[in-house]
Structure 1
Amino acid sequence: MSITLLETTPKQNRHYFIALVIGVITGIISAFVKSGTEDILPPRTPDRIAPPVQMLTDMGIDWHSLVYSYSDQLVYWGGNFVHIVFSIAATVFYCVVAEVFPRITMLQGIVFGVLFAIVCHGVMLPILGLSPAVIHLPADEIISEILGTCLWIWSVELLRIALRAKMTKI
């Protein structure tokens, strides 16, 4: 039996709309998983601005004005909003691609998670000027981002499996 990375599912077993809905749901939930990971293992030193916040600043948006009060504390939601939107976009991509190419879910999504962390934090963020080049990142940041991204995608995959089974009545 040969296993190929580009093996596809039968067309009649693909549920794109369901994958889209699951992507939105899991994108929101998993963003909280990623955020929680960053609270426990801060990915950057206090002197560096988080990439989503830097992106808002670069766009001319005053992230200090994006604030609400909860439990007598000010919460600056701008960076988290960007993170949630990015998470939704990434999980919709993941869930839709999984409908066609099931190998994207290898090791319950962990392979995708590692590759995604490398592409985002090692390539895209430095290109966009939102983060230093990976060779200039501290080990703490690399560990936090890879572990956080793996937990993020693992939560996506576990939810995707359960929600897809319920929504397609498999």
Structure 2
Amino acid sequence: MQLRTTKEKILLAILVGIIAGLVCALAKFGWEIPFPPRTPLRDMTNPPQELLQQLGMSYELSHITYLYNGNARPIMSFIMHFGFSITFAVLYCVIAEFNPKIKLWQGAFYGLVLHIVFHVFLLPLFGTVPAPWDQPFAEHFSELFGHMFCFWLVEIVRRDIRNRITHAPDPEVAAAEATR
């Protein structure tokens, strides 16, 4: 499949971004098993639940759960988690189609920037999480490297799926380099 128009490039990037975002969200779940970002007390209302409550959702609805294998799972947190991962993976994939600089460190730099924007500035500014200096080191470690790992993975998925669909390298790769 040869991408001829900007519209085709954007549509493919959106499709690939959705797939990469799903992989990213699942990988972030897995990352947080050995590196939980919050203490049990702070996780009683996690940041997605707190943000939903700040936006007007009731405590009861933001903490609603479903059961899987006898385990209560926080559905609203998961919706926010997948929504964040898919949204920012789609954005990454669309930008990568036109500006290869976003792929610095194979996407890990993008994850670093997202961590800083959200966990260091926006979420503390909104009062969703404590100020960065009041957060434990373990939280910064988990969130920083978790975002970097997951968006490195987004780049791996993006490049592989895109190249399999188009049978071509990324646009900035010279034709001679692609055929060696």
Please indicate the TM-score interval, normalised by the length of the shorter structure.
0.7 to 0.9
Equivalent residues in 2 for 1:110-129 (5 A)? 110-129=108-127
Identity of aligned residues (%): 34
Gaps of 5+ in 2: 169-180
Deviations 1:90-114 (A, max 9, x none): 1111110111110100111111111
SS in 1 for 2:39: coil
1:55 to 51, 56, 73: 51
Taking the aligned partners of 2:74 and 2:109, their CA distance within structure 1 comes to: 32
Residue-pair matches, total: 159
Partner of 2:10: 16
Deviations 1:72-104 (A, max 9, x none): 222221101101001111111111011111010
Gaps of 5+ in 1: 1-10
Partner of 2:149: 151
CA contact (8 A) 2:62 2:76 kept: yes
User: Structure 1 residues 84 and 39, CA, compared in 2 at 3 Å: closer, same or farther?
Assistant: same
TM-score normalised over the length of structure 1: 0.87
Question: Which runs of 4 or more aligned residues in structure 1 lie more than 6 Å from their structure 2 counterparts after TM superposition?
Answer: none
TM-score normalised over the length of structure 2: 0.82
SS in 1 for 2:151: helix
Partner of 1:83: 81
Equivalent residues in 2 for 1:128-167 (5 A)? 128-167=126-165
Instruction: Give the root-mean-square deviation of aligned CA atoms.
Output: 1.7
The residue type paired with residue 46 of structure 2 is A
The residue type paired with residue 57 of structure 2 is G
Higher Cα radius of gyration:
2
